[in-house]
Structure 1
């Protein structure tokens, strides 16, 4: 028997494209242009799959589905939406949607999803409880749609997620969203920054320690793994974790058990692991500074966050979001007009969303008028520098100062972080200039070859990759 599909879509052009593609695939198809027509068709017919838009002439296509799903609990639903926010993606997950497609969508991918859903009728996942309203991610760009879809795929499972992206792109916000909206949201969310903890204390921070385990251990301490039991442990800056801690972490991930420093008893822990890094782990694996087996344990589901320069169209929405946040924190209530938003959008934002947030808070504090326009942006933030032109180059000291203000290395790591940030391009340049010859590169730098080798290992730089640099 030919499988019949119900398409709920008020846009005739979109409906025609989808209908033609599904009929070519061999499906029969009914179309409803409103919620009322949808309910009438559902009352008298049986369907293999329903595709539904969200915004319909007579209401919300998701919010009004409860009664229809009660009568057809096994009906797979595919949600189509131009309201491309994390909220929409999560609402689709809450109704146990088989799939969510933001508009514009890939037609071939949509057809494949319908074919798969029609073949798995009756295997739709159970709906989750209402999720938190605190949705920390903002943006409707195509780049962010992929992030939203990946987030919704990991909400009902405990797969380990590795969040990748430049500093300031919002990696911790993604981790918080996965926890807040997932099935572990009633448990604790514990975050630990591997770069902010002295190396000799990191294992104790993660796994805890027994009294007398080392000098200064005057009492027993519970580590982050035990604190996160039943919830989520977020390991930030995983690329800065020393080798010995990597080994113990791998063992904990493999066994689900930890041992406090100085302890003999193994303790079972039930923790979901989310990790993040702004570093390229590939060269570090090649250099032996990051364990390959640990990488594969962490990167079961990688989610890569786009830098702000690749989703500049999200800047106005982010600016409005941060102005609302600023007002909630006691700063003057401001609004930004189209000219002001465009002025922000034109700026380079090397520090990504974090830099934009700080700039908007500065605007909220210092702008002379309640409405922020282009003149206010320039008056408070200064004239925008074009990141693509070398007409006004940024000096080394200025660039380092900008990096320090945007990155804000943790206390006790300021010197090491700054030196590493300077050494990385310096050593890469020397290796590129000498074709990867480490002896010549060391001479060019004026340092010992053994020192160069050690720093390359510490920084996770691959000499061959540096030599191939254009």
Structure 2
């Protein structure tokens, strides 16, 4: 039989009633109030074994009350509820001493289960340190799938547990890894990232662990590896599934013994880094194929964190689109807004490139179209271009509905199209300037359709496409990754 006295604070009478009934059926004694002042009075009097409180109260915000309650009664578990379902809400709740955070609406059975765990567990849990800039929210979305991510991250901030982030390309794995670092206890240390797929396989060990002078041909000086660079901070191992077996063996020793040796070195070096790994592959399949060590997998997969693809959190498209429009405006691009039909068109799309594809779309809409209100047709044109694998030939958008060129309509020469586009960015008479970084932005906008067209012309053959473009094959592969160009098979 469960026992305990639960204090519930929420200004919504219906929620108070529902919680009181559910917790009473579970065997708890429940007292409810609609004000923070009454709750504070109960806590000061020593009442209650656990508190459940909403964030927004009519007389005081719970985030202001939480530190006082924890200072007076540090062993008192507090569960925070909120309809402001953002990443920072979860982090604030964790930092201020809450046992757990539940976004509204919540599952009553889950809440009762959390209450039971909170009353049974030791209460002296350490908390993460909240950064000063609370407005710079790194993760966006209010969907149930993202709420689970926020809650998991909030619990992990105060730990050094190794985390394995899985998810399709473009779901934001590095962004989550950075959030773990920036909002955790290692935030004052360095965050170092290495992409296994972007480094030649014979250089990965040197990149990770460093090398001594003379260790191999071309090693003219000693070089520090990523482990040394990340000392005291976080090392993010992206695309861990592409790590060669030899490097996997060395990494396993680091995780087991907390030390490593440089390539060509003999003296073990102690290391103090938090490991966060990520992959878009199924490592269990690679294990079955003999391409990934099972013992390394279990060392890395201490806390698995799966990021949902955008098609599983389609209700977040509006918030994400607005977030990217705001970013574009902060960089000096015109302010835009989506018409309802345009948003509905985006919600019907499958987003094979996930959040990265959505960000690219929003930036194109902000940069290439003069109208402030983006309608469904403009979105449809750009999404159709994405589905084809490259931008449509009429890169320059008109002030109208930007219908695609007809079969008999010849696209303007590339130089002319670029010149017209740049004239818009600089203003009709040179009276306005675009944001800094224009050179690289224009190059990126030209490179992506150029490489996509070359790959389409060579039926995806990267060797032939590299020859066609006059690029080294490794350079082309890097650009394909950096520009997030999807490799599509041509129809037979």
Name the residue aligned to 1:152: 154
Name the residue aligned to 1:129: 129
Name the residue aligned to 1:282: 284
For residue 139 of structure 1, the aligned residue among 138, 141, 148 is 141
Question: Contact 1:42–1:68 at 8 Å: present in 2 too?
Answer: yes
Match runs of 1:25-44 below 5 Å = 25-44=26-45
Higher relative contact order (CA 8 A, sep 6+): 1
Name the residue aligned to 1:312: 314
Q: How does the TM-score come out when normalised to structure 2?
A: 0.77
Q: In 2 relative to 1, CA 416–130 (structure 1 residues): closer, same or farther, beyond 3 Å?
A: closer
Name the residue aligned to 1:86: 87
Match runs of 1:356-435 below 5 Å = 356-382=358-384, 397=456, 411=475, 413=477
**Displacement of 1:113:** 1.6
Q: Does 1:240 align with 2:242?
A: yes
In structure 2, how many angstroms separate the alpha carbons of the residues matched to 1:118 and 1:344? 45
Q: Does 1:178 align with 2:180?
A: yes
Match runs of 1:452-467 below 5 Å = none
Name the residue aligned to 2:293: 291
Name the residue aligned to 1:231: 233
In structure 1, how many angstroms separate the alpha carbons of the residues matched to 2:83 and 2:336? 28
Q: In 2 relative to 1, CA 109–201 (structure 1 residues): closer, same or farther, beyond 3 Å?
A: same
SS of corresponding position for 1:55: coil
**Displacement of 1:355:** 0.4
Q: In 2 relative to 1, CA 246–385 (structure 1 residues): closer, same or farther, beyond 3 Å?
A: closer
Give unpaired runs (5+ residues) of structure 1: 387-395, 424-470
Name the residue aligned to 1:20: 21
Please tell me the root mean square deviation across aligned C-alpha atoms, in Å: 3.1
In structure 2, how many angstroms separate the alpha carbons of the residues matched to 1:268 and 1:136? 32
In structure 2, how many angstroms separate the alpha carbons of the residues matched to 1:399 and 1:108? 56
State how many pairs are aligned.
411
Name the residue aligned to 1:465: none
In structure 1, how many angstroms separate the alpha carbons of the residues matched to 2:386 and 2:269? 54
In structure 2, how many angstroms separate the alpha carbons of the residues matched to 1:38 and 1:400? 68
In structure 2, how many angstroms separate the alpha carbons of the residues matched to 1:249 and 1:53? 45
2-11 vs 334-343, which moves further: 334-343
Q: In 2 relative to 1, CA 399–117 (structure 1 residues): closer, same or farther, beyond 3 Å?
A: farther
**Displacement of 1:332:** 2.0
Question: Contact 2:198–2:478 at 8 Å: present in 1 too?
Answer: no
In structure 1, how many angstroms separate the alpha carbons of the residues matched to 2:48 and 2:325? 46
Q: In 2 relative to 1, CA 383–172 (structure 1 residues): closer, same or farther, beyond 3 Å?
A: closer
SS of corresponding position for 1:221: coil
Question: Contact 2:66–2:97 at 8 Å: present in 1 too?
Answer: no
**Displacement of 1:378:** 3.2
**Displacement of 1:137:** 1.0
Question: Contact 1:346–1:384 at 8 Å: present in 2 too?
Answer: no
Deviations 1:373-430 (A, max 9, x none): 32442355448979xxxxxxxxx949987x99xxxx9736369989x9789xxxxxxx
**Displacement of 1:60:** 2.3
Q: In 2 relative to 1, CA 5–415 (structure 1 residues): closer, same or farther, beyond 3 Å?
A: closer
Name the residue aligned to 1:101: 102
**Displacement of 1:106:** 2.4
In structure 2, how many angstroms separate the alpha carbons of the residues matched to 1:26 and 1:310? 37
In structure 1, how many angstroms separate the alpha carbons of the residues matched to 2:3 and 2:317? 47
Deviations 1:261-320 (A, max 9, x none): 011111101000000000111111011011000100000000001110111110010000
In structure 1, how many angstroms separate the alpha carbons of the residues matched to 2:459 and 2:158? 42
Give unpaired runs (5+ residues) of structure 2: 389-454, 466-472
**Displacement of 1:73:** 2.5
